[in-house]
Amino acid sequence: MSTQPDQNDRNQSRISRRSFLGKSMLLGAAGVVGYTGAFARVTEQGAPEQDQGLPPQGHYLIKNAYVLTMDAKLGDLKQGDVLVQDGEIKQVSQNLNAAGAEVLAGDGMIVMPGLVETHWHLWTSLLRSMAGDTEGRGYFSVTRTVGQHYTPESMYTASRLAIAEAISSGITTLHDWSHNARSPEFAEASLQALREAGIRARYSLGVPAGKGGVVDLQLLERLKRDWNKLASDTLHLGLAWPGINDRREQGIKELKTARQLGIPVSVHASRAGVISGLMQEQLLFKGMQLIHCKDATSSEIQGIAKAGAVASLSPFSELRIGYGIPPVKELLDAGVTLGISVDTTTLTGNADLFATLKLLLNLANALNRSEFALSAKRTLEVGTLEGARSLGLAEQTGSLSPGKRADLIMLSANTLNAGYVTAPHQLVVEAMQPANVHTVMIDGRIVKRNHTLTHLNKEKIMAEAQTEFERVMGKSGW
């Protein structure tokens, strides 16, 4: 069903875009270069412009759903109710009543925590499925070449497209691994898109493609200092760290700065030896996120577990780019906290985390030649609570536990690919698709209802992304 463009959304976006473009223009007029002016301006203004388009944090009672809480104490409730108020999960039980709450019928639905995505280069979303199939036309070539022609506007439109897809697909938390922040305005534009969408996210500042590979530490410090003015309650800052390979001194300096600032750090471990290199330098630490870990040896896996570092796997991109198969079961058996990720829709095509979870389970079973190597319930944990733990967010999200923020999804089984609720954990992992996502709540706000995004205008987001895609492709001559 096509929807009319929402006036609110149109206005909001127009205002917001004027906001960051306006800042750049003002800076130009004042003859100020670099990020100092932009951030000083934000500081003067105080809080960012109000994101008026966000749905309210309502008072909701979900009735009579099959509730998978992912909370070990609460377990699953076959005919369960979930009460939400002020953005928080208040109660999860049966036969609840709440005067004044809007009742959301859960009949025929599975209600569970929203999916937690743990590493995604949102900016590459303009370049969906653009990784070619010949030498020199692959993923790194296209993203590096076209990425140089990005502007803050490109970051904004790409992020909007990715976030809208995420929400529509049942993702309530994501990690924007933003390694194309070419100026402070780029970071600002990414943050604006995250903030306006109301999604829960880590924004990790990274090194732009083709800029010599040095993290702008001054910008990182400024982001940290002005975070409350640039971001929102559902966002936190991270470092998308390039690591120490061929850049030991610089890498250690960046890592030290991030740690002094108390900022979480994430690094790709795409090549053999990356993890052992970090272990030798004693640079692994609790909560450090290692991505892919595809060549991790058993001593490296033990090292990750011992340090309390965490792993993020993106099996679809790992298979598509020819990295190989990640050691799923070995990581889990060693007690490494694991999350799943989209990585980039340039390679994966879409952000379907249901399919990613299914692939994770199937790979673990195939590699171990056992039907029972990994259970659907354990797999769902990786996609929710454990993913949240890997991002340091388990106190806030990842399970339907009273006191946590209300990040949840309602999955309709009333489709041909599901039919009705059978074994719920297997059904979610094996049968469900983004098309089953009926309702999405983030921080107690309904951002998707009855299969329709509430405050994000998908037609507009897609049209703007297409315009921007054509512009950057034209500029790059790709």
Is the Cβ of residue 347 or residue 382 nearer to Zn ion in the bound state?
A: 347
Residue 282 CA to residue 26 CA, distance in Å, equals: 46
Residue 183 CA to residue 52 CA, distance in Å, equals: 27
- Write down the least CB distance from residue 339 to Zn ion, Å: 13
- Write down the least CB distance from residue 407 to Zn ion, Å: 23
Residue 445 CA to residue 422 CA, distance in Å, equals: 29
Helix intervals (H) in 198-343: 217-225, 227-230, 248-261, 274-280, 298-307, 315-320, 328-333
CB count in 10 Å sphere of residue 292: 25
Q: Which stretch binds Zn ion (CB under 5 A): 14-22, 242-250, 324-332, 338-346?
A: 338-346
Lay out the sheet containing 265-268: strands in order across. Answer: 115-116, 171-178, 200-206, 235-241, 265-268, 289-291, 310-313, 337-340
- Write down the least CB distance from residue 356 to Zn ion, Å: 14
CB count in 10 Å sphere of residue 421: 17
Is the Cβ of residue 81 or residue 343 nearer to Zn ion in the bound state?
A: 343
- Write down the least CB distance from residue 314 to Zn ion, Å: 7
Residue with nearest beta carbon to Zn ion: 343
- Write down the least CB distance from residue 87 to Zn ion, Å: 31
Q: How many residues of this chain bind Zn ion (CB under 5 A)?
A: 1
| Contact set for Zn ion, span 177-236 (CB under 5 A) | none
Q: Which stretch binds Zn ion (CB under 5 A): 98-106, 272-280, 342-350, 412-420?
A: 342-350
- Write down the least CB distance from residue 343 to Zn ion, Å: 5
Furthest CA-CA distance within the chain = 66
Q: Which stretch binds Zn ion (CB under 5 A): 45-53, 99-107, 207-215, 336-344?
A: 336-344
Tokens of 37: 């002016």
| Contact set for Zn ion, span 53-92 (CB under 5 A) | none
Residue 38 CA to residue 34 CA, distance in Å, equals: 8
Is the Cβ of residue 163 or residue 409 nearer to Zn ion in the bound state?
A: 163
CB count in 10 Å sphere of residue 29: 8
Closest C-alpha to 381, from 169, 65, 93, 113: 113
Q: Which stretch binds Zn ion (CB under 5 A): 1-9, 185-193, 335-343, 393-401?
A: 335-343
Is the Cβ of residue 55 or residue 213 nearer to Zn ion in the bound state?
A: 213
Q: Which stretch binds Zn ion (CB under 5 A): 41-49, 326-334, 340-348, 440-448?
A: 340-348
- Write down the least CB distance from residue 228 to Zn ion, Å: 28
Q: DSSP secondary-structure letter at 293?
A: -
Residue showing tokens 């070990």: 72
Q: Which residues here bind Zn ion, judged by CB under 5 A?
A: 343
